[in-house]
């Protein structure tokens, strides 16, 4: 692009911005939100490298360098916390990523409009239930005398101690999350499938393509860019396990399997008052997420030419 072309393009952009200035005003609240809640708090990251004392303030607290990071890495809990966090995250990704896509494709080929709307309404509903209420429902349903065990016993099976068997925690956490997010996660794919050119399906039908072949050669190629973008963002959050849900489903029996980095940070930081130590752990967590986001984005760009940037 020549210098003249860049100048012309710049003038056109400025002209469009001036013409549509009202639209940019709507961005102001979001920019203020990002600055106040995302960028200004970055100032406090330095306490991860200080021995922070509330009475001395951030600048008055002495520097300790990487001491808090070394303490965390040398802790006997480090590997267990990392294992539990990655287990829940990767399990959730494997179970939860493809199911909304499959559900969206099933709805796309649903013949009955009433059944389609009803299925969507039922699948969207759990998303709007608060985490506290949802975890309370899980606890009640999976109790020893809960509805799930009542059904199992009616069918001739023995009751299962869901909440007192620590090895079942990851399955309860992941599949309850899949159930809650199935419908909401399919919205993006339903929107993309709705915008697929109908002529492509008509041509495929004329050529004798079955529904499976139409899904394979028409629908899936249409949603691949969305799938890649969603996968990149999911991988960038792989160290962020749902803190509230894990904490609410924890008990003294399953603690060895349910304690993750986010709950550990809460307990030692907010409850224990070790602000610098917890800040260091949180910073480590976010750095890993950033590395994974950049890495997966680079791989996606090399493999499919689809990426966030």
Instruction: Give yes or no for a contact between 261 and 239, defined as CB atoms under 8 angstroms apart.
Output: yes
Hey, is 63 helix, strand or coil?
strand
User: Does residue 28 sit within a domain?
Assistant: no
Which CATH number characterizes residue 86's domain? 1.10.3720.10
pLDDT score, position 122: 92
Is the distance from CB of 45 to CB of 283 less than 8 angstroms?
yes
Residue 300 located in a structural domain = yes
Cα dihedral 129, 130, 133, 137 sign: positive
User: How do residues 110-146 score in pLDDT, each as one tens digit?
Assistant: 888 899 899 989 999 999 999 999 999 999 999 888 8
10 within domain boundaries: no
Q: Quick check: is 37 in a domain?
A: no
**Does 280 fall in a domain?**
yes
Radius of gyration from C-alpha coordinates of the chain: 25
3-class secondary structure per residue, 24-41: HHCHHHHHHHHHHHHHHH
pLDDT at site 53: 85
End-to-end CA distance of the chain: 20
As for how many domains the chain has, the answer is 1
The 8-class DSSP code of residue 219 comes to I
The pLDDT score that the predictor gives to residue 87 is 92
How far is the C-alpha of 114 from the C-alpha of 83, rounded, in Å? 45
Q: Is the pTM of this model over 0.95?
A: no
Residues of the chain falling short of pLDDT 70: 1
pLDDT at 304: 80
Please state, as a whole number, how many other Cβ atoms lie within 10 Å of the Cβ of residue 97. Answer: 16
Q: Please report whether residue 59 resides in a domain.
A: no
- Report if residue 165 sits inside a domain: yes
pLDDT at 86: 92
Q: What is the pLDDT of residue 198?
A: 87
Q: How far apart are CA 62 and CA 49, in angstroms?
A: 9
Q: Is residue 48 part of a domain?
A: no
Residue numbers of the domain that contains 199: 69-304
Per-residue confidence (pLDDT) for residue 1, from 0 to 100: 58
Average pLDDT, the chain: 88
Two structure tokens written together for 286: 């976010």
């Amino acid at each position: 692009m020549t210098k003249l072309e860049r100048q012309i393009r710049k003038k056109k952009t400025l002209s469009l911005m001036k013409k549509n200035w009202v639209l940019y005003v709507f961005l102001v609240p979001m920019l203020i939100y990002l600055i106040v809640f995302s960028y200004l708090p970055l100032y406090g990251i330095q306490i991860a490298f200080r021995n922070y004392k509330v009475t001395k303030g951030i600048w008055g607290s002495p520097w300790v360098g990487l001491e808090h990071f070394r303490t965390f890495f040398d802790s006997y809990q480090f590997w267990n916390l990392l294992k539990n966090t990655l287990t829940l995250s990767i399990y959730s990704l494997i179970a939860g990523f493809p199911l909304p896509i499959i559900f969206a494709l099933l709805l796309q080929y649903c013949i009955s409009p009433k059944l389609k709307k009803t299925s969507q309404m039922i699948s969207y509903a759990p998303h709007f239930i608060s985490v506290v209420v949802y975890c309370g429902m899980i606890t009640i349903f999976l109790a020893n005398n809960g509805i799930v065990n009542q059904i199992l016993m009616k069918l001739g099976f023995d009751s299962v101690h869901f909440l007192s068997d620590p090895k079942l925690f990851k399955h309860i956490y992941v599949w309850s999350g899949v159930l809650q997010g199935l419908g909401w996660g399919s919205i993006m794919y339903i929107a993309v499938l709705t915008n697929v050119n109908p002529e492509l399906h008509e041509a495929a039908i004329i050529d004798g393509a079955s529904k499976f072949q139409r899904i394979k050669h028409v629908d899936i190629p249409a949603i691949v860019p969305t799938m890649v973008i969603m996968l990149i963002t999911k991988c960038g959050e792989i160290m962020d396990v749902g803190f509230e849900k894990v904490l609410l489903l924890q008990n003294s029996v399953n603690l060895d399997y349910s304690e993750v980095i986010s709950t550990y940070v809460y307990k030692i930081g907010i409850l224990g008052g070790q602000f610098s130590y917890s800040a260091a752990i949180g910073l480590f967590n976010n750095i890993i997420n950033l590395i994974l986001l950049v890495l997966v984005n680079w791989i996606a760009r090399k493999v499919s030419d689809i990426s966030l940037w």
